[in-house]
Amino acid sequence: MSVTNSANSHENSHPELPQLLAGEELLTLKEVAEKLDLPITRVFDLLNARKFIAWRDPEGNRRVPAAFFNTKGAISKYVSGVITVLSDNGWSDNEILAHLFTEDDSLPGRPIDGLHGHLAREVIRRAQASAF
């Protein structure tokens, strides 16, 4: 299944997603290529390999949250890990994005923020547990 089809098939499944991402820095795929110092074709390869996912904005452009990157400018391995776990459990890209950017008082905070700190393993553990 391609990333485009997955994102489009659940396009309206999370109407709150634009609000959740409203305060986020969202990068175009070209900006991701520049940030990673890679050709755009390699960025498409990474996207298709599910190393990260993209949200389609209302104009249909793919946007990647800057929060997916670590302090060294690379895609966080924990972000890729939780995307893999949730995708394997049948979650759509929009469902994954909504999960990552929704406040969770039990963490506390948002799962995306936990993936950049000491809560990364807990966020992944919870993603794994969601399969059951």
Check pLDDT > 50 for residue 11. Answer: no
Give every CB contact of residue 87 below 8 A, 6+ residues apart in sequence: 50, 96
Q: Picking from 12-21, 35-44, 61-70, which range would have the lowest pLDDT averaged per residue?
A: 12-21
Q: List the structure tokens of 58.
A: 């209302």
Is residue 85 within 8 A of residue 50, CB to CB? The reply is: no
Q: Is the CB of residue 48 less than 8 Å from the CB of residue 4?
A: no
pLDDT score recorded for residue 83: 96
Strand 55-56: give its sheet, edge to edge: 26-27, 62-65, 55-56
Q: What is the rounded average pLDDT of the residues 97-108?
A: 93
Mean pLDDT of 72-77: 94
pLDDT band at residue 108 under the 50/70/90 scheme: confident
Token pair in block for residue 3 = 């990333």
Confidence of residue 132 (pLDDT cuts 50, 70, 90): low
Peptide bond into 111 cis (omega under 30): no
Mean pLDDT of the chain: 88
For 53-59, what is the mean pLDDT? Answer: 94
pLDDT over 50 at 9, yes or no:
no
Amino acid at 122: E
Under 8 Å between Cβ of 53 and 3 = yes
- Between these two residues, 7 and 114, which has the higher pLDDT value? 114
Q: 44 to each of 26, 33, 39, 51, how far by Cα in Å? A: 17, 9, 9, 10
Percentage above 70 pLDDT, the chain: 89
pLDDT at res. 13: 57
